[in-house]
Structure 1
Amino acid sequence: MEKRKLAVGDLFNLQSVTDPQLSPDGKEAVFVKTHIDEEENKYIANLFHVDVASNEVTQWTHGEGRVSSAKWSADGKQIAFLSNREEANQVFILSARGGEAKKLTSFEKGVSSFLWSPCGNEIWVNAVVKESKTFTDKEEKDDKKKSEPYRVTKMKYQLDGVGLLPQDTFRQIGVVDIATGDVTQFTGGNHQHTLHAVSHDGKKLVIGVNREENQDYEFRQPLYIVDVETKVETVLIDEDGYYGGAKFSFDDRFIAFVGSDRKLQNATHSDLYIFDTEDSTRMNLTESLDAPLGDNVVADHQQGAGAPSVVWTRDNYLYFQVSTMGDVRLYFATLEGELYPATPDNEHVYGYAISADGEFALVTVSDAGNPGELYKHVIATGERETLTSFNKTYLEEVELVEPEAIVYKGAKEWDVHGWLMKPAGYEEGQKYPLIVEIHGGPHAMFANTFFHEMQLLAAQGYGVLYVNPRGSHGYSQEFVDAVRGDYGGGDYEDIMTGLDAVIAENDWIDTGRLGVTGGSYGGFMTNWIVGHSNRFKAAVTQRSISNWISFFGVSDIGYYFSDWQIGADMTDVDKLWEHSPLKYAKNVETPLLILHSEKDFRCPIEQAEQLYITLKSMGKETEFVRFPDADHNLSRTGTPNLRVARLDEITGWFAKYL
């Protein structure tokens, strides 16, 4: 059967398989499958069950909302999960032997996270409480509530995806009795608490809380071990940086957690730490590994993909993700500091669960030609068994392009890694246009994973080049830090040198039909490129930065991110302006399409407005498309019809000019 070309509307055909959770005995598991309902214009995620021995897969929930964060009780008899079937996320409990799910919580603002108590009779929850209120206080509802002024007294007052932050609410931790539904609040005070772990004996919690009154320049959340009975706190870590994902070993002696200090601000690699509760010592288990822990991939298919920071086995071995050389691999470590990869290269392990005996893992895996499925992976031999095939029919019907990995010398003669895709239906001897894609972050990475947008461009007859310039994760600490203070310098050179390298090696590339696009940092770089080069015949900038001076005051992160990344604040506007693409607007000769979400608080839409009006006033070829009710994550998690419209705008612009 002849395969068809991939289309924009394939967003509605693809299935996302995420979040595998093994039962305590390792004989069964649950996971979440998400699809997009085109008619309803929304994402639908339901819980599925798999028998690990027979590979039989059964759908367990059938709601029209989204299920997430499934977790087994310690005895394996029940599964709790979050569901937004009644708007706010609430905890539901389902018997492992079947039946209807029981709603456990009814918090007005929903539950942000939860953990089982080992006894199986209680569930610990993290939820929002109004100042001077408790979980059990009922709020009076006012259907005629009027708009009120919003008084700003803090610098951290807005957040992308949220908007203006509530000023009188705080995340607290409580425990819910499953039999009665009664809630007992555990934490208090006007502080934001995070629930990280419950010990296997149920006597200890790991929580995060920063009790400093002024949080404007607080970029830390200390972790504490708390005695459940006495509430006495022991410091796990109280240092500048980002730490979390704590897990107790099976014997409760050790606590593993991940995090990064702030030596290089947000460019610092994350590491795995072990705390010994017997002697209160802490060690960095991955200090010798020059790559970051976790999943730093940018892509556009997987929905709600999350993975544990670290998982223990009963014999005190640990498993965790590492982003390395365009892959996300599962790694294995011993308490003595031995480190080994546990999964192969050339793939993206975006979710995993480990059997308690360490014999096998359940992994959700994607690569360039596979949107992602669930597999059983035998640790010792590397053998794999396919457990789901939700995208099998799709892959049999649709032609996908396999990217070619490339390595070339960038600025300072450093190796730069990337990929080149030929157009779908490529024929030897023909000439084709090429589009350069640039990722955001900048501390993120393109990877060996399925990317609908890349495949769409290839399906429409374009070659696609995407690289990981300096600043990208997955390589050395020196490499990821090298972009800071040098936006538009070595990173620009890395991208343009990569373009030169593929042109020199591929005579099918039509150098008269080159395009460039990117979002966030990739939008900044697109703006920078068209202000410094006329090589491209068309460009599309998305959710971009154009003016670092105004960005400082309007972005939810601007007042500190500008200093971290550019090395300047409002006391050095000359440097901010020097790195602002808007300064070079007069040089732009490339037709530029500007795409921006109206509710983007990360790179606010005024960045696009300034760029558009400036270019238009100079008589440049430009258009501006605004996406209502969309935030910074439009391309990944935005309302489906707007995601389709965005892709149509991109492909339409390139069709017009290339």
Structure 2
Amino acid sequence: METDVRFGATWHRVTEFFDLVHSPGASRATDLTEVSGRPGTSELVATATVCDSLDAPLRRVVVRVHDGKITPVDDGRVSSHAPSWSPDGTRLAYLAVSDAHDRNRVCVRGPEGDREIPLPGTGESCVWTPGGDSLLVSVADAGADKAGAEGSGRRSGPSATGNWLPTVETAATRRPGRSLWLVDPASGALRPVSAGRTVWEAGAAGPGRAVAVLSEGPDESDWYGAHLALIDLATGVAAPLHRSDRQLGRPAGSPAGTWIAVIEADCSDRGIVAGTLLLFDHNGQCRPVDTEDVDVTGVQWLDDHRVAFSGIRGVGSVVGVHDAASGETRELWATEAGLGDTHKPEAYVRSDESVVATVQRYREPPAIVHRAGSGTIVLATTDHPGTEALRSRIGDCRTLSWAAPDGQRIEGLLVTPAGPGPHPLVAYLHGGPIWAFRDRWLGSNPLIGLLASQGYAVLCPNPRGSSGRGPKFAAQVLGDVGGGDCGDILSGIDHLVDTGAVDSARIGVMGGSYGGYLSAWLVTQDDRFKAAVPVAPVTHWRTLYHTTNIRQFVPNILRAEPFEAGDVYDARSPLTWVGSVRTPCLSIAGARDLCTPAAEAEQFHRALLDNGVESTLVVYPAEGHGVRTFPAILDYCTRVLDWFGRFMPAGR
């Protein structure tokens, strides 16, 4: 495989596809998340994804949604996100990065004028206190680790004085962390309130209090053991409220602080939390909420007793509301469409319990809709002239289910290209493992639509361990990585072969993160695959444990400590069984990946070569956990298409 693939026919096809997806340079929104409504009005804001050029990273921009139009709240030239209205609806706050030096600030827009308040690090979240006189802003220090869900690597900071300086680590090394700050939007004054602890997420909890997920240590691995606490905003004193052997996310208090809500779940990545909604009363007593089989991903208080939630059920999205006083739960909207962003369904619920959300499906680009009762009105859409051209190429998507070897029903999505089958098949495996595919524009990754446009069917399975089927289903992967989930995937492929939908002689596999692990693992266990593309893979659990920045994730998922040779760390590692591989593998990694370091892909590649198996290793110097920025995306997609085209061509 060539080092530079920019001059081949595949590169031009890939570039044309992404030109249609993003219309670069037109300042057009290609995705919409973080929808928020102005209290007492119909005005909406959201965070849009904008592509300036296929030679530059995508940007996020806070936008207004009005009369079917999507327009930036400011000049649209800076990156911004996390919009939040004050409780009285008079002021809008959001986070922005002002220039190439990544100077972060809080922007407040209101009738008294606009103010920009510099922050001592990278702002990650921004919420108003109930009285509307202050903002709670979570800030990451320069050099703090980014979550794997947002690409891993580190938050930017001041340039080093020389590139020869070493990185030095000892037991006493002070690591960058995260803190909570109280910001006065009128004066611009900032005050830290987290008392030296690491605050991963925070929300208001009534007058003078915040509720936070925090830990003593600042490392990304410390998040897996973080607990829930109430913070006195005047003194910074944190009072523990809840400790769990699972993970916690989305803390939020009712306006008067009578109730506290948080989501508890077994999690793979910080930022991807889907599980049980817990409520705590004023005495600290905890009770789980019956959300009718929904794995909750989002929480929003409507008043001091009604809490709205969004989440996953099966491959669909659900929005509901729970009355903490009466114990009643009502479902407001259930849809097979994808709500919210890639990692979690989310919605804004008005006080009248109508819903505003971003909605999309495989053939329908993101749109913001208003749902009241059974009626849905489209308020704005990202549809543009390139959309119809894409629809003519990407085939269709449907929900699929099949029986696993042990009889369990497994669900997934099947994308099929235009024309009669049987088609060559790529099994595209999601990360996590506690995550799930949902029905989204072009698939959860545009590469899925791109593969379909080139004649490939794509199976997107949600094997055991996935979200959307409740905590017991998700927990089945714990202690059994590459076990039952492996059988779920292979039985799904068998089902498609048996129905005549796919060609058994042209089956490939790929995936990222845990999906990269399964892609490497499956080719050690089954010889049916003609080509494989492990992306950001785990190839040996023991080496991962000693090199990853999320070390606690490893014993969490394996349910074992790495102290004995021959245990699950060896038995369920692709590197252990590499001698049985005959499948050509294209391994992809990012040099800045702290979650699954590039060495994981490199050692698998070298072992394959030693075993006489065709293998190519591609490491992107500026990428982290997965390939997420242009123009690296174009290069990555070109190599994937060429790899499958070489070993299992689609015949187009």
Superposed pair shares fold, TM > 0.5: yes
1-structure distance, mates of 2:50, 2:218: 43
Deviation sequence 1:196-255 (CA, Å, 0-9, x none): 22345x332223433479997784333333444455654432444333423232443222
Shift of 1:627: 1.2
Distance 1:112 1:167 in 2: 21
Partners of 1:36 and 1:343 in 2: how far apart?
31
Aligned to 1:449: 440
Cα distance, 1:502–1:630 mapped onto 2, change above 3 Å: same
1:317 matched to 2:306? The reply is: yes
Q: For residues 39 and 607 of structure 1, what CA distance do their matches in structure 2 show?
A: 29
Q: Which amino acid aligns with 1:124?
A: L
Determine the structure 2 residue equivalent to 1:302: none
One-letter amino acid of the structure 2 residue matched with residue 584 of structure 1 = W
Deviations 1:447-472 (A, max 9, x none): 12222121111100111222111221
1:231-270 equivalent positions in 2, closer than 5 A: 233-260=238-265, 270=275
Partner of 2:523: 530
**What pairs up with 1:235-634 in 2 under 5 angstroms?**
235-260=240-265, 270-277=275-282, 279-286=283-290, 289-294=292-297, 309-314=298-303, 316-335=305-324, 336-350=326-340, 351-358=346-353, 360-378=354-372, 381-398=373-390, 399=392, 400-424=394-418, 426-427=419-420, 431-450=422-441, 451=443, 452-506=446-500, 508-558=501-551, 560-562=553-555, 564-565=557-558, 567-634=560-627
Alpha-carbon separation, structure 2, partners of 1:614 and 1:64? 47
The Cα shift of 1:187 comes to: 3.8
The answer to whether the 8 Å contact 1:7/1:459 transfers is no
Question: Take 1:170 and 1:356, find their aligned partners in 2: how far apart are those partners?
Answer: 36
Q: What does residue range 7-18 of structure 1 map to in structure 2 within 5 Å?
A: 7-13=17-23, 15-18=30-33
**Offset of residue 147 of structure 1:** 5.5
On the 8 A contact 1:404/1:421 being kept in 2, the answer is yes
| CA distance in 2 between partners of 1:443 and 1:593 (Å) | 25
C-alpha separation between the residues in 1 aligned to 2:64 and 2:253? 26
Distance 2:212 2:278 in 1: 16
How far apart are residue 193 of structure 1 and its match? 3.1
Preserved contact between residue 196 and residue 247 of structure 1 (Cα < 8 Å): yes
Deviation at 1:326, TM superposition (A): 1.0
Q: 1:73 to 1:291 in 2, by over 3 A?
A: closer
Residue in structure 1 matching 2:84, options 64, 71, 79: 71
Between the aligned partners of 1:227 and 1:310, the Cα distance in structure 2 is: 22
| Alignment partners' CA distance in 2, 1:632 and 1:471 | 20
| SS of structure 2 residue aligned to 1:26 | coil
Could you say if the C-alpha distance between residues 144 and 535 of structure 1 is closer, same or farther in structure 2, counting changes exceeding 3 Å? closer
Corresponding residue for residue 88 of structure 1: 102
Question: Is 1:193 the equivalent of 2:188?
Answer: no
Tell me the CA shift for residue 153 of structure 1. 3.8
Distance 2:633 2:219 in 1: 38
Letter in 2 for 1:620: V
- 1:369-424 per-residue CA deviation (whole Å, 9 max, x = no partner) reads 2231111111xx22111111222433323223221222111021111112222223
Give the letter for the 1:225 counterpart: L
Partners of 1:313 and 1:357 within 8 A in 2: no
Letter in 2 for 1:127: V
User: What SS is found at the alignment partner of 2:406?
Assistant: helix
Write out per-residue CA displacement over residues 39-82 of structure 1, whole angstroms, 9 at most, x where no aligned residue: 5512233222234xx55654322333311011112222221111
1 CA distance for matches of 2:37 and 2:136?
20
Q: Alignment RMSD, CA only?
A: 3.3
Q: Are 2:196 and 1:184 equivalent residues in the alignment?
A: no
In the alignment, which of 44, 54, 59 is matched to residue 72 of structure 2? Answer: 59
What's the secondary structure of 1:443's corresponding residue? Answer: coil
Alpha-carbon separation, structure 1, partners of 2:108 and 2:272 = 41
Amino acid at match of 1:316: H
- Residues 195 and 435 from structure 1, CA distance in 2 versus in 1: closer, same or farther, beyond 3 angstroms? closer
Tell me, in whole angstroms, the C-alpha distance in 1 between the residues paired with 2:484 and 2:397. 25
* Identity %, equivalent residues: 23
**Structure 1 residues without counterparts, runs of 5 or longer:** 131-139, 158-165, 295-308
Q: Is the 8 A contact 1:321 1:328 kept in 2?
A: yes
| CA pair 614-455 structure 1, distance change in 2 beyond 3 A | same
What is the CA–CA distance in structure 1 between the aligned matches of 2:141 and 2:271, rounded to whole Å? 30
Task: State the one-letter code of the partner of 1:152.
Answer: E
Question: How far apart are the structure 2 equivalents of 1:355 and 1:213?
Answer: 36
> Does 391-400 or 536-545 show the bigger shift?
391-400
> Relative to structure 2, which stretch is displaced further, 382-391 or 475-484?
475-484
Structure number, greater radius of gyration: 1
User: What residue identity is the alignment partner of 2:169?
Assistant: V
Kindly state the Cα deviation for residue 106 of structure 1 after the two structures are TM-superposed. Answer: 4.2
SS state at 2:489 partner: helix
Contact map agreement 1:323 1:474 (CA 8 A) in 2: yes
- Of 148, 169, 188, the residue aligned with 1:152 is 169
Secondary structure of 2:188's counterpart equals coil
CA separation of 1:387/1:146 partners in 2, compared to 1, >3 Å: closer, same or farther? same
Post-superposition offset of 1:547 = 1.8
1:632 CA drift (Å): 0.8
* Aligned residue number for residue 648 of structure 1: 638
Structure 2, unaligned runs of 5 or more: 1-12, 24-28, 143-156, 341-345
TM-score after normalising by structure 1: 0.83
Instruction: Give distance in 1, aligned partners of 2:102 and 2:543.
Output: 35
Match of 1:173 among 175, 180, 197: 180
Of 18, 25, 48, 2:63 maps to 48
| Change in 2 beyond 3 A, CA 1:606/1:255 | same
Is this contact kept in 2: 1:484–1:567, CA < 8 A? no
Question: CA 1:575 to 1:469, structure 2 compared with 1: closer, same or farther past 3 Å?
Answer: same
Write the letter of the residue equivalent to 2:17. Answer: A
Determine whether 1:28 maps to 2:40: no
State the one-letter code of the partner of 2:215: N
- Specify which of 118, 122, 128 is matched with residue 110 of structure 1: 122
One-letter amino acid of the counterpart of residue 310, structure 2: Q
Q: Tell me the distance in 1 between the aligned counterparts of 2:557 and 2:122.
A: 34
Q: Is the 8 A contact 1:438 1:518 kept in 2?
A: yes
Q: Do the aligned residues in 1 keep the contact of 2:254 with 2:301 (CA within 8 Å)?
A: yes
